[in-house]
Amino acid sequence: MADLIGYEERSPEVIRQVPSGYPRFVLHPFVRALTAEFARRQGLQGQAVWLVASLPLAEQLRAWVGEEDARVVVEGGQAAVAFSPNPERNGRAKAFLQHCGGFVSSRQAEDALVEAGLVPAPAVEAAVAGNAASAVRTALRSAYTGASDEDLFVAGNGMNAIYSVFRTANEIQRPRGRTMWIQLGWIYLDTIAILQKFTADPARDHVVLPNVNDLDALRRVLEANRGRVAGIITEVPTNPLIQSCDVPALATLARAHGVHVILDASIASPWNVDVLGYCDVAVASLTKYAAGEGDLLAGSAAVNPAAPDAAAFRAGLAAQVVPPYRRDLARLAYEIQDVERLLGRINASTPLVAEFLAGRPEIARVHWALAPGTRENFLKVARHPGAVGSMVSFELRDVTLAAVYDRVRLPKGPSFGLKRSLFCPFMYLAHYDLVTSQTGLAQLAQHFLNPELLRLSVGEEPVEEIIGALGEALDAAHVI
């Protein structure tokens, strides 16, 4: 925990030992090297230079940081935005690319550096040599029941899929006078950021309903704002409380009001929950489960072919989505072949881990897909009763977070849905600003979030090893 807090507070002693990180938060060394080379070749030394995954996103970034001196620079197939540097604008640029999934892939950067003679040839990795796009879509058709190839879009990462769906929905709904978005439950931080920053009038057009079970509150908001609501976005289940709303009831309510429904199935995976028939577009991070090795980013968006605006969504997403770089797609096509086997292993282990934790006196509460409160809602969309996914969150009693976290001998990190288990104090990693201020703590309390919550993604290790590591840490946490 001391190291994690040092990382969040940018302690030099910690930062210098972290050469890389999750690629939407920490620029990969290849991307940093390519940025420096791009700046040198274009004579941009002394400027802030941000490589961007597509020309349209580069134009959006230029407008976001301020157009007075920002400009888009294109070299070959690579776009960048350059401007006079200052910390505030640099922060805005990084946040924009993080929220929108607009960073350049490390494999793309590596290939460019190889071409420039700055790094050796990339290491050989297993990948699909043929039509990778077709292979990925074949796998996705089993995840999105009823979708054809024209309904399926593969993005360079999950956030780009979500951002593209959000922009497309706005383009459809804004001419109708609909600009308001409703967030149902506490969801992933960058999805929240998109709603906070990119709605037409964030103070007026971003409405948060903390309780996923309270569809009466949703009904009241829709009635009070009849004709103004563009969309509802939620996760099935949510992150990190792993709660599910009544998806069929939500769909019926939204359709009656002409409101788009965007459902994010990342937490359990679209192979575990069947949600496409209840929304306009279903999204998921394929970084999770589909890329079980944890060595690439990807995302998906699936248009419900029966939705009223399906054709408009298809056209909009075709223009908005940034597809994966060819090497990332080939690697994804290889890894995604294992997704259903991996999920079978994880689905079998997660209930056993949840049961173990629920029986420990140090655990005050366990959150998982079949926990009381939203269990029945989850089962309405689960492909089978055991299709629960990897995530288990829990709250402690009579022992401290650090005492447990420091002693758990499992891999530690912020992702989930991988072959290896991953353990983290999620609120400290994702919302450090909130857990360290009184106003932030009050906001978390409004959303039923314990800042000391621990989140485990169950991997495919033998379940007795996972349970043994948790038990060892809980036993040792009592020793001061």
Enumerate the domain spans of the chain: 2-115, 132-336, 339-477
- The pLDDT of residue 19 is 82
Q: What is the mean pLDDT of residues 27-44?
A: 96
Inform me whether the pLDDT recorded for 272 exceeds 70. Answer: yes
- The pLDDT of residue 368 is 98
67 band by pLDDT with thresholds 50, 70 and 90:
confident
Strands (E), 336-476: 363-367, 391-396, 422-424, 454-457
132-336 and 339-477 agree in CATH topology: no
- The pLDDT of residue 340 is 97
Inform me whether the pLDDT recorded for 68 exceeds 90. Answer: no
Provide CB contacts within 8 A for 174, sequence distance 6+: 200, 230
Annotation: CATH topology of 132-336: Aspartate Aminotransferase; domain 2 (3.40.640)
Specify the DSSP class assigned to residue 336: G
| Whole-number percent of the chain with pLDDT over 90 | 94
- The pLDDT of residue 27 is 92
Structure tokens at 340: 């259903």
Q: What is the pLDDT of residues 404-422, one digit of tens each?
A: 999 999 999 989 999 999 9
Q: How far apart, in whole angstroms, are the C-alpha atoms of residue 160 and residue 43? A: 30
Least Cα distance to 265 among 366, 161, 167, 174 occurs for 161
Three-class secondary structure of residue 237 per DSSP: coil
- The pLDDT of residue 123 is 84
300 band by pLDDT with thresholds 50, 70 and 90:
very high
- The pLDDT of residue 480 is 53
Inform me whether the pLDDT recorded for 479 exceeds 70. Answer: no
Least Cα distance to 98 among 90, 108, 88 occurs for 90
Annotation: CATH topology of 339-477: Aspartate Aminotransferase, domain 1 (3.90.1150)
232 band by pLDDT with thresholds 50, 70 and 90:
very high
Inform me whether the pLDDT recorded for 438 exceeds 90. Answer: yes
Q: What is the pLDDT of residues 111-165, one digit of tens each?
A: 999 999 999 999 899 999 899 999 999 999 999 999 999 999 999 999 999 999 9
Q: What is the mean pLDDT of the chain?
A: 96
466 band by pLDDT with thresholds 50, 70 and 90:
very high
Helix or strand holding residue 284 (H, E): strand 281-285
> CA–CA distance from 51 to each of 100, 303, 435 (Å)?
13, 29, 32
Least Cα distance to 196 among 187, 188, 205 occurs for 205
Q: How far apart, in whole angstroms, are the C-alpha atoms of residue 326 and residue 337? A: 17
- The pLDDT of residue 127 is 95
Q: How far apart, in whole angstroms, are the C-alpha atoms of residue 222 and residue 217? A: 9
Which DSSP string corresponds to 155-210? ESSHHHHHHHHHHHHHHHHGGGT--EEEEES---HHHHHHHHHHSSSHHHHEEEE-
Inform me whether the pLDDT recorded for 314 exceeds 80. Answer: yes
Inform me whether the pLDDT recorded for 400 exceeds 70. Answer: yes
Q: What is the mean pLDDT of residues 438-450?
A: 95
Structure tokens at 445: 């309390």
Inform me whether the pLDDT recorded for 187 exceeds 70. Answer: yes
Inform me whether the pLDDT recorded for 4 exceeds 70. Answer: yes
Q: What is the mean pLDDT of residues 183-202?
A: 95
Assess contact for 344 and 390: CB atoms under 8 A.
no
Residue that the structure tokens 């009849």 belong to: 226
